[in-house]
Amino acid sequence: MKLEERLRRTVRAKGHAYNTEKAYVMRYRQFVQFVRQRRNRYIHPAELEPQLVADFLSWLANEKNVSPSTQRSALCAIKFLYSQVLGIELGELQYATARPCQKLPVVLTFGETRELLAQFSGIGRLQSELMYGCGLRISDCLSIRVKDIDFGAGTIQVNQSKGGKNRLLMLPESARTGLRQQLAFARSLFEHDKNEGMSGVQLPNALEKKASSWAKQWDWFWLFPAEQLSKDPRSGAIRRHHVGRNPYSKLFRRAKQRAKVGKAIVPHTWRHSFATHMLLQGCDMRTLQRLMGHGSIKTTELYLHVVETMGGRSKSPLDRLDEFACYETASSR
């Protein structure tokens, strides 16, 4: 069995998400290509000295100018390859670390948010409302299942988000009608698949084996199911997946143009705007950290700088120049 296939199978056996599998395989291929260019031939990773791994990480920082998070993800992928697949511990590696470049998030004002939302309709409107109203990443939004919505408690549960985290969020009252309409549409596709004897939806981690019958149950069905069936990249089964990112990304670009928003915004801007607007409403940092699913409060604190500017707590000296000049003149008398 080829090493890449062994890597894929080990990632799946450990219960990691498909996106993690793709990322690890991509970094493995990049590492192999790096070694091939250095040594002018393919060398099996088990036969390489650990210094080449350190050189690879330094190359990412110095030559590719990757971010610290990208370098860390590459390190995780290579360490997983060695420790979990090859059974080799790399030990402590000495390499050049990528220089941190902390960017402030691009945030919409309340007015821009309202205007941008007005450009959407139907399923795109509902997806936008959930991303902004709950602070969801687009991947979290599109992978919501029927069971995750609790109208009685007024909550939406996000499972297996970035870093494998789960969190419970408030259900926006404004989204209830849209959610009920979308559930009715999803139910029609569920009944169609049931009547056709389809294999059911993909289940997370080990549930595919432990509770395979759940794949055909309504509560595990997608809130945003794709209209077309497709091949599961892991099992090869023909089944219904949730909708992908591309359709919404196209809707978002068109909505931005119609709303004439002069900012470099992307779907993730909904999440940034949620965090900032929650702080502007008086939400405390610890509550926001929980709602955002941040592992560190320092990540959440990044929004404070934006809030201080948008909230008008500080003014430019240009706007108070006359005031200062008059005070200065009075003081000198």
**Active-site amino acid positions:** 137, 162, 268, 271, 294, 303
CA distance 18 to 47: 28
45-52 long-range contacts, CB within 8 A, separation 24+? 45/3, 45/81, 45/82, 45/86, 46/86, 46/88, 50/90, 50/91, 50/93
* Burial readout 32-61 (b: 16 or more C-beta within 10 A, e: otherwise): bebbeeeeeeeeebeebeeebbbbbbbbbb
CA 276/CA 272 separation, integer angstroms: 6
Distances (CA, A) of 167 to 51, 66, 82, 105, 241: 40, 30, 32, 22, 22
Please state, as a whole number, how many other Cβ atoms lie within 10 Å of the Cβ of residue 77.
20
- Distance between CA atoms of residues 230 and 280, nearest Å: 43
